[in-house]
Amino acid sequence: IAEDGDAIHEQELKTRSNNLYEASSKTVLFIDDDPIVLESIKVRLETWGCKTLAAITLEHALDLLEENEIEVDVIISDLRLATSIDGVQAIENLRIKLKNDVPGIILTGDTSPDRIKYIENAGLSILHKPINASSLAEILNEIFRKSLH
């Protein structure tokens, strides 16, 4: 996850994450088949106070849900997973399991109009790689603010 070097942006990020979405009460389920990306975003989310369930596959994510029996506030997934399903399909499967239309974010480096339309038609937010901490915070803030209404 890329860092903003500018101290002003870092302070804004801290202010946003502390004041807008009360991250300590939020649970994020994150799926990525790259262990380095998985760990770095997990650490970032936990730094902001989110309870984070990090999984390498959909099956792993389903196991974590069974083990933890908690309400998930947002699902984040890489678009391209190492299995036969993609991130959009993984989020759809998790929504079915949770019996809840949980907000979702897809991480992708793919900018093709067809892929973007596919993601948007599924009702998911898009975050383009490389992932920037302030962009991730902005999308989470928007999702968490909507959940307060």
- Sequential DSSP letters for 134-145: HHHHHHHHHHHH
The pLDDT, as a whole number, for residue 24 is 73
pLDDT in tens, 84-121: 999 999 999 999 999 999 999 999 999 999 999 999 99
Residue 81 has pLDDT above 70, yes or no: yes
The pLDDT, as a whole number, for residue 16 is 46
Report d(CA 148, CA 122) in Å as an integer.
22
Mean pLDDT over each residue of the chain, to the nearest integer: 87
Confidence band, pLDDT 50/70/90 cuts, at residue 18: very low
77: which strand partners?
31, 106
The pLDDT, as a whole number, for residue 62 is 96
User: Looking at 14-23, 63-72, 138-147, which range is the least confident one?
Assistant: 14-23
Residue 66 has pLDDT above 80, yes or no: yes
Residue 147 has pLDDT above 80, yes or no: no
The alpha carbon of 79 is separated from its chain's Cα centroid by a whole number of angstroms, namely 11
Predicted TM-score (pTM) of this structure: 0.86
User: Looking at 4-8, 63-67, 94-98, 137-141, which range is the least confident one?
Assistant: 4-8
Q: What is the mean pLDDT of residues 59-79?
A: 95
The pLDDT, as a whole number, for residue 33 is 95
Phi-psi region of 75 (alpha: psi -120 to 50; beta: other; left: phi over 0): beta
